[in-house]
Amino acid sequence: MNPMIRLEKIQYAKKDRTILSIPSLSITQGEILGMMGPNGAGKSTLVKILSCLQTPTSGKLYYKNEELSVSRIPLEQRRKWAVVLQQTLIFDTTVFQNVAAGLKIRRVAKSIIKEKVDYWLEQFGISHLAKKNAKLLSGGEAQRVNLARALILNPEVLYLDEPFSALDYPTKVKLLKDFKAIIKNTETTTIFVSHDVTEIQFMTDRLAILMDGKVQQIGSTADVLNNPNPYTASFIHDMSLHIE
Amino acid sequence: MDLLIEGLKKAIEMLISGDPEIFEITWLTLKVSLTAVLVSTFIGIPAGVILGLISFPGRRFVLILINIGMGLPPVVAGLWITMLLWRSGPLGSFSLLYSPFAIIMAQILVSLPIIIGLTCSAFQQIDEKMLLQIKSLGATRLQTVGLLVREVKIAILAAVIAGFGRVIAEVGAAMMVGGNIRGETRILTTSIVMEVSKGNFDVALALSFLLMSLAFFITFLLTNLQQRN
Ligand SMILES: Nc1ncnc2c1ncn2[C@@H]1O[C@H](COP(=O)(O)OP(=O)(O)OP(=O)(O)O)[C@@H](O)[C@H]1O
Ligand SMILES: [Mg+2]
């Protein structure tokens, strides 16, 4: 097993309050790791620390067994990853330009950008919106732009923080299927945060339950959902209620 | 009432006949104001960006100075520039007082704080999450600033428009440092003051039309730029 990313003794504190405390966590190359937990458990914080958008108070981060200096991540490193943040923040320009943003930043040739953007707009069923100002999109449309904007970068690691929360059910089902196929085909290592058990069951290989800033349980998705431990039992039980 | 109608008639005659002196004054006004606004914009926007995005010791103090500067009375600006350029002053040897250059300096002094201050507040209002979003796309610092400028384009152009408004309306400083010298430093505002004091309301009216047209035209262009898309 090849760890793509490994955390060691990561702590994140804000005003004396420990928000996150993870003794160790590793994510294997090509796997989809799910992450669930109550509001305020620290999922988004962990995603931001993993993707080096936020500096932990202490601890170490390894990428392909090489330690990264968490406070100064080289740009080339960050450009290998893509992040879909929980809050969809769209640039005040067209849908096309929004999806193209990351490639433009990487100074990719215009003709290639055009080709790729067209492809990804198609994948997410938003080709007809290409010329529309992205600020005028509905929540679900904006979320699809946000996903396309990340996937177009063909990242080695993909961080997704509740990427499907605003999608209607038919769109979600279709996207989930396509999405999983894309991720599996490209062997993209993925961290996937969600509150939706169905999404988690369908998408992820392993599942971590985060509560109060700690990983209370981690294992194969089916195993965690079927055999919760004493810490996670009530959370998983309450969640399972509405699938029965 | 007669005064107004007579004045209007004469003013229109004067504008139609194309009095060369009036156009010289207008042209100088345009050159001086635009130069001042351009300089203020090129210094003010980067300064506003830095002040809005980067925290450094003493930043609040600088912000207070800038905010005071936004309301700096033009006559005070005029006084400072006059003392700076006075024969025995620090820059006296260049004999720049009573030149268009001196007017430009004074106008920069009154418009620069406005452009810095308004640009800065535009950048301070940017959602911190927008910075994260841009960072996550792998942007360099310069690229980040470029993307943010596009996000707050409307507010930045509002800053430039406000700066231009201050410059084109300003008279106290231009009078003091320019001296309203015919053919050299006479601009629209200073000549309106002079004509009114001489009781030449018709000429003053004609000049005021020109001043307003100029303000209207430039603001129109800037607003179009601002509201594009
Ligand atoms: N910048 C900050 N300053 C202070 N507290 C913060 C900050 N960022 C996060 N927190 C706190 O850290 C905790 C974890 O937040 P986080 O956003 O990671 O939760 P989450 O698991 O993603 O929750 P949700 O399911 O609601 O998205 C919360 O209690 C939050 O209030
Ligand atoms: Mg969250």
Q: Does A172 touch chain B (CB under 8 A)?
A: no
Kindly report the nearest CA distance between residue A46 and chain B, in angstroms: 14
CB contact under 8 A, A133 and B151: no
Identify whether A63 is part of a domain: yes
A chain contacts of residue B132, beta-carbon cutoff 8 Å: 48, 53, 85
The residue with tokens 């932990």 is: A56
- Within 13 Å, how many C-alpha atoms sit on residue A172's CB side? 16
Ligand 1 pocket test: which of A45, A85, A191 has the largest number of ligand atoms within 8 Å of its C-beta? Answer: A45
Q: Does A73 touch chain B (CB under 8 A)?
A: no
Strands A81-84 and A157-161: parallel
Strands A81-84 and A58-63: unpaired
Q: For residues A62 and A103, give the distance between their C-alpha atoms in angstroms, rounded to a whole number.
A: 26
Name the domain count of chain A: 1
Chain B, nearest residue to A92 by Cα: B151
Range in A69-78, A81-90, B77-86, B101-110 with the lowest mean pLDDT = A69-78
Identify whether A236 is part of a domain: no
CB within 8 Å of B195: residues ≥ 6 apart: B201, B203, B204, B207
pLDDT of residue A240: 67
Q: Does A185 touch chain B (CB under 8 A)?
A: no
| Main-chain phi, psi angles of A193, to 5 degrees | -95, 135
| Main-chain phi, psi angles of B62, to 5 degrees | -60, -40
**Which residues in A69-178 belong to E strands, given as ranges?**
81-84, 157-161
Ligand 2 centroid–CA A209 distance in Å is 13
Q: Does B149 touch chain A (CB under 8 A)?
A: no
Cα dist from B190 to A204, B39, B84, B169, B228, whole Å: 75, 22, 21, 10, 35
Chain B residues 35-94 with CB within 8 Å of chain A? none
Identify whether A65 is part of a domain: yes
Name the residue among B129, B140, B153 with its Cβ closest to that of A85: B129
CB within 8 Å of A55: residues ≥ 6 apart: A49, A70, A71
Report whether residue A104 contacts ligand 1, using a CB cutoff of 6 Å.
no
Q: Does A108 touch chain B (CB under 8 A)?
A: no
What CATH number should be reported for the domain holding residue B18? 1.10.3720.10
Q: Does A131 touch chain B (CB under 8 A)?
A: no
Name the domain count of chain B: 1
Protein residue closest via CA to atom 7 of ligand 1? A14
Identify whether A104 is part of a domain: yes
Identify whether A154 is part of a domain: yes
B228 vs B186: which has the higher pLDDT: B186
Identify whether A215 is part of a domain: no
pLDDT of residue A172: 87
CB contact under 8 A, B137 and A102: yes
What CATH number should be reported for the domain holding residue A146? 3.40.50.300
Q: For residues A155 and A205, give the distance between their C-alpha atoms in angstroms, rounded to a whole number.
A: 19
Identify whether A36 is part of a domain: yes
DSSP A128: G
Averaged pLDDT, B210-226: 93
Name the residue among B129, B140, B150 with its Cβ closest to that of A89: B129
Q: Which of A157, A31, A190 is nearest to B138 (CA)?
A: A157
A chain contacts of residue B127, beta-carbon cutoff 8 Å: 89
Q: What mean pLDDT, rounded, does chain B reach? A: 93
Name the residue among A83, A87, A105 with its Cβ closest to that of B139: A105
Percentage of residues in chain B having pLDDT higher than 90: 79
Ligand 1 centroid–CA B129 distance in Å is 13
- Domain with A67, as residue range(s), is 3-11+32-186
Ligand nearest to C-alpha A38: 1
Averaged pLDDT, B77-85: 95
- Using the predicted structure, report yes or no on whether residue B14 has a pLDDT greater than 90: no
Protein residue closest via CA to atom 9 of ligand 1? A45
User: Among positive and negative, which fits the CA dihedral B195, B201, B205, B206?
Assistant: negative
Question: Which residues are close to ligand 2, an ion, with C-beta < 5 A?
Answer: A 43-44, 86
CB contact under 8 A, B138 and A75: yes
The residue with tokens 């990242």 is: A155
Q: How confident is the prediction along chain A (244 residues), in pLDDT tens digits per residue?
A: 678 899 999 999 998 899 999 999 999 999 999 999 999 999 999 999 999 888 899 998 999 888 887 677 778 888 999 999 999 899 999 999 999 999 999 999 999 999 999 999 998 889 999 999 988 999 889 999 999 999 999 999 999 999 998 888 888 888 888 888 888 888 899 999 999 998 999 999 999 999 999 999 999 998 889 888 888 888 888 876 655 4
Structure tokens at B76: 């005070």
The residue with tokens 């002053």 is: B89
pLDDT of residue A171: 83
Report whether residue A87 contacts ligand 1, using a CB cutoff of 6 Å.
no
A chain contacts of residue B130, beta-carbon cutoff 8 Å: 89
Report whether residue A55 contacts ligand 1, using a CB cutoff of 6 Å.
no
Identify whether A191 is part of a domain: no
Name the residue among A51, A93, A133 with its Cβ closest to that of B136: A51
pTM for the model stands at 0.85
- Domain with B63, as residue range(s), is 2-227
Name the residue among A87, A93, A105 with its Cβ closest to that of B138: A105
DSSP B3-33: HHHHHHHHHHHHHHHT-HHHHHHHHHHHHHH
User: How many angstroms from the chain centroid is the CA of residue A49?
Assistant: 12
- Using the predicted structure, report yes or no on whether residue B114 has a pLDDT greater than 90: yes
